[in-house]
Amino acid sequence: SQKIEQNSEALNIQEGKTATLTCNYTNYSPAYLQWYRQDPGRGPVFLLLIRENEKEKRKERLKVTFDTTLKQSLFHITASQPADSATYLCALERTDKLIFGTGTRLQVFP
Amino acid sequence: DSGVTQTPKHLITATGQRVTLRCSPRSGDLSVYWYQQSLDQGLQFLIQYYNGEERAKGNILERFSAQQFPDLHSELNLSSLELGDSALYFCASSVASSDDTQYFGPGTRLTVL
């Protein structure tokens, strides 16, 4: 069955550094992958979508890569700020449904 | 504010009971999705409706059912509730298909005692 792995441990980084979050998947080749941000007690907020024929996508301080050979997506936040602290979820397309990973909690400290 | 509304915000009920969660999608969105989020399971896709018709189904229990009405709002019905059904239930909407941006509502926190 489809398995999506995100770092279960929290990622703690210093303000100004680049945060890199990993999403690995097995047993499937999704047509696209999405990244969401979720704050405690709130609904996820869409950040970026990357398709299987795209290697990289950028939006302001965010960058996503998609390596279909490694079955991995990397999510980067450059010049991180304390306001970036949240849980970040990756979601893979599977037969027109979105399958979410369990998320990685990012903590940016001053 | 995503434009998706969900009511109620909180719901506390007892085992064996039945509840209805309501969702109003963003204006213009035809697809509605329901998700369940619990601490140990993460965000789980339950079901999708598109313009009134069921389009995709996830791991939705037989005790759960949903529908989308002509005005495009949706309801998720949970019956014979068990302790394990306690979770956050999110509704999301998109223009049409799942590769469109999904906009999530604020969720309904269900507590089954």
Average the pLDDT over A14-27 and give the result: 94
* Range with lowest mean pLDDT among A72-76, A95-99, B86-90: A95-99
Average the pLDDT over A4-22 and give the result: 92
Mutate to test the interface with A, among B23, B43, B55 (most CBs of A within 10 A): B43
pLDDT value at residue B106: 96
User: Does B81 contact A at CB distance below 8 Å?
Assistant: no
User: Does A98 contact B at CB distance below 8 Å?
Assistant: yes
pLDDT, one tens digit per residue, over B32-87 is 999 999 987 789 999 999 999 999 999 899 999 999 999 999 999 999 999 999 99
CB contact under 8 A, B107 and A49: no
Distance CA A98, CA B99 (A): 8
State yes or no: pLDDT of A21 exceeds 70. Answer: yes
Q: How confident is the model at residue A2 (pLDDT cuts 50, 70, 90)?
A: low
pLDDT value at residue B113: 96
pLDDT value at residue B1: 86
pLDDT, one tens digit per residue, over A31-70 is 899 999 999 989 999 999 999 999 899 999 999 999 999 9
pLDDT value at residue A31: 87
CB contact under 8 A, A97 and B44: no
Q: A72 has which bridge partners?
A: A24, A67
Residue of A nearest to B58 (CA): A97
pLDDT, one tens digit per residue, over B80-102 is 999 999 999 999 999 987 678 89
Average the pLDDT over A78-106 and give the result: 92
Q: How confident is the model at residue A76 (pLDDT cuts 50, 70, 90)?
A: very high
